[in-house]
Amino acid sequence: MKQQNHRRFTAALKRFANIPVDMVGQLLKQLAGNTGVAVANGASAQLQRVATQPAPAYQPRPQKPHKRERPTRQRPQTSHITKAPCWVITLDPDGERVKSLLESLRAQRLPTTAIPGVDGRSGMPEFERGERLSQGTTRWRHLCELKSSEVGCYLAHLRAIRRAYESGLERVCILEDDVRLEPSFGKVLAELERLPANVEMVRLMGLKVRKRKEIQPLADGSHTLVRPERGWCGAQGYLINRAGMKKVLAHGSRIFEPIDKLFDHFWQFDLQLYGVEPHLLWETEHESSIVKSNAGRDKVATWLYWLHPLGKLWRSLERHYYLRRNARAFYPAQNPTKRPGRTPRLKF
């Protein structure tokens, strides 16, 4: 009976859903005889509450954009393959030679900049604090005096190394502007940068062939890190770390020989000097702006000619003692079997 009444009640609501509330109340009273007054009154009150509730506010659906906006793609910037910068020493920063070298370095993804050299072509350059020229030692050791252009070249390298050290650089590659790069220059330089700290300086080319110990292969075996027992001659290009910078600055602030001779005499201040074969650089044929001290030698005191051989003997003994004391680092050593570089002046 109750289920039948419920169905009748539901059908009536569906039929008269849109009629006013007071008419619904009358309808419920008519049904009360069958369902009971309490049920009808309760349903009437519930309908009244529903009918008097305010309708929810209309909220429009968010419209989708007609066209999806894609983020702008930025071209990836070419990253450098080394942290160590390549500094090119030059007296002619606007010349074609240095511009070509800088372009070659950038093409191999190397950070590079040109730094001014020290011009000694027209006279002896001015010295900065801590720099001093010792021509007396030059006369004793080399039976001549340094030319102003040699001093300018020396100061250019010394100040570049000091600038790198004071800037806090861990390594710096220093080049002269009269060199050209081999295609593997950047790749090998990136490997040299990851060598341990005891490799303090690496020459990237030289003008003399010396006996050397092969240390390890580089660039999948196309090059080799070597340690020569004597100096290679030349300062056209090298990579030097902070320990090497500190030693060069401490020993080289007194100037008495060309800068490459300072590097050649590494054993006098324990500079851990290495090289790369085949060379990563080669020198172009041109007329050098540096006048050599042995060209038109200055006359020195006669007694220096007697003292000079004794000085050479003493330095030779020092070098052999150093090599013997560090024999494991330098030996076994042998000469290269083929020409290690393309520089025309290379003595092979």
Q: CB neighbours (10 Å) of residue 326?
A: 15
Structure tokens given for 118:
């020290």
pLDDT, tens digit (0-9, with 9 covering 90-100), for 15-44: 545 555 555 456 555 545 554 444 445 545
* CA separation for the pair 253, 80 (Å, rounded): 33
Instruction: Tell me the pTM.
Output: 0.76
- Quickly list H helices, 129-212: 135-142, 148-166, 185-193
Is 86-284+297-330 CATH 3.50.4? no
Domain segments of the chain as ranges = 2-45, 86-284+297-330
Q: Which is more confident, 286 or 164?
A: 164
Q: Which of 42-46, 121-125, 325-329 has the lowest mean pLDDT?
A: 42-46
Buried b (16+ CB within 10 A) or exposed e, 164-173: bbeeebebbb
Percent of the chain with pLDDT over 70: 74
- The verdict on whether omega for the bond into residue 344 sits within 30 degrees of 0, i.e. cis, is no
pLDDT at site 61:
66
